[in-house]
């Protein structure tokens, strides 16, 4: 019996695939990195000439010029004979100077001793303060505490800068808030033979004050809560309130009483 031939199946026409949508990339939100605000540096890009060691046992050798120039991170200058340089940092009113290096030129013995005293005082710096055209750098060294007083470049050594005009105060109560690394300043114009008395009160007694003369550059009181003296110089007296509280502590309120009594 003959077997009928198997019918040939037609090849199916392929159906084109449906257009598959290309997936869109998910939006990428690049997080905005917040740049920290850099604290300002009042010393950066300033230049000064030393006019006083602020220590009764030290004086400037005639004919010598001591300078200090601050960049944002380094201090350079002349120590009277040799050039010096080093790094420094500030935190509020606090100043810290690293080890200083200098050239090795030899000079007169008195000049070399003065240079060593200056570099030692600078390395032992504690605080700084810019008032008008003056820079005050306090230090505590092996030869005692003091304050380096600088004036504008070219100021003659031991030059007495006339006092700035300030309010005449006979009795006043000054109130405010003070925190770590902050400073509050007041000028008291007083005459010789007057008695200046200052006291300050605050929580935990963390607010203290210092007193310095604007003409004779003498530090009369440093970080105290009570002080009084019969004055011998007619001038403006700068009263600076600071805090002894640990960094990170909250600011506290203070009340400072200033009184002037005519001498007998």
Kindly report, residue by residue over 206-223, the tens digit of the pLDDT. Answer: 999 999 998 888 899 999
175 inside domain: yes
Task: Give how far Cα 40 sits from Cα of 97, 134, 240, 242, Å.
Answer: 18, 19, 20, 19
Residue 112 confidence (pLDDT): 95
Please state, as a whole number, how many other Cβ atoms lie within 10 Å of the Cβ of residue 164. 16
Task: Give how far Cα 99 sits from Cα of 3, 96, 120, 125, 128, Å.
Answer: 112, 10, 9, 11, 18
- Find the helix or strand (DSSP H, E) in which 120 lies: helix 109-123
Are residues 251 and 175 part of one domain?
yes
The half-sphere exposure of 117 on its side-chain side, counting CA atoms within 13 A, is 24
CATH number at residue 203: 2.60.120.680
CA dist 150 and 152 (Å) reads: 7
Strand partners, 94: 91, 127
Are residues 57 and 124 part of one domain?
yes
Are residues 257 and 202 part of one domain?
yes
16 inside domain: no
For 162-210, write each residue's pLDDT tens digit.
Answer: 554 443 446 677 888 898 888 888 888 888 888 888 999 888 889 999 9
Contact between 170 and 261 (Cβ < 8 Å):
no
Are residues 187 and 101 part of one domain?
no
Contact between 81 and 72 (Cβ < 8 Å):
no
Are residues 225 and 186 part of one domain?
yes
Domain total in the chain: 2
For 127-144, write each residue's pLDDT tens digit.
Answer: 888 877 888 898 888 877
Host domain of residue 80: 46-151
Are residues 142 and 234 part of one domain?
no
140 inside domain: yes
For 78-116, write each residue's pLDDT tens digit.
Answer: 999 999 999 999 988 889 999 999 999 999 999 999 999
CATH number at residue 57: 2.40.128.270
Phi, psi of 223 (to 5 degrees): 50, 60
Please state, as a whole number, how many other Cβ atoms lie within 10 Å of the Cβ of residue 110. 12
């Amino acid at each position: 019996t003959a077997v009928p031939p198997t019918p040939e199946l037609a090849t199916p026409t392929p159906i084109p695939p449906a257009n598959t949508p290309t997936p869109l990339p998910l939006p990428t939100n690049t997080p905005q990195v917040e740049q920290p605000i850099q604290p300002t540096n009042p010393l950066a890009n300033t230049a000064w000439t030393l006019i006083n060691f602020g220590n009764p046992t030290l004086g400037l050798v005639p004919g010598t010029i001591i300078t200090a120039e601050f960049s944002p991170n380094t201090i350079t200058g002349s120590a009277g004979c040799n050039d010096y340089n080093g790094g420094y940092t500030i935190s509020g009113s606090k100043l810290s100077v690293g080890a200083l290096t200098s050239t090795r030129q030899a000079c007169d013995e008195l000049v070399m001793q003065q240079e060593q005293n200056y570099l030692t005082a600078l390395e032992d710096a504690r605080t700084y303060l810019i008032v008008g055209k003056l820079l005050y750098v306090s230090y505590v060294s092996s030869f005692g505490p003091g304050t380096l007083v600088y004036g504008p470049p070219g100021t003659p050594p031991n030059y007495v800068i006339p006092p700035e005009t300030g309010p005449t105060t006979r009795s006043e109560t000054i109130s405010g808030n003070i925190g770590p690394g902050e400073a509050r300043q007041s000028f008291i114009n007083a005459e010789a033979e007057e008695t200046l008395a200052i006291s300050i009160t605050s929580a935990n007694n963390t607010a203290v004050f210092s007193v310095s003369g604007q003409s004779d550059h003498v530090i009369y009181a440093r970080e105290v809560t009570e002080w009084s003296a019969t004055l011998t110089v007619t001038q403006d007296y700068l009263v600076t309130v600071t805090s002894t509280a640990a960094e990170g502590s909250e600011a506290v309120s203070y009340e400072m009483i200033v009184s002037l009594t005519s001498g007998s």
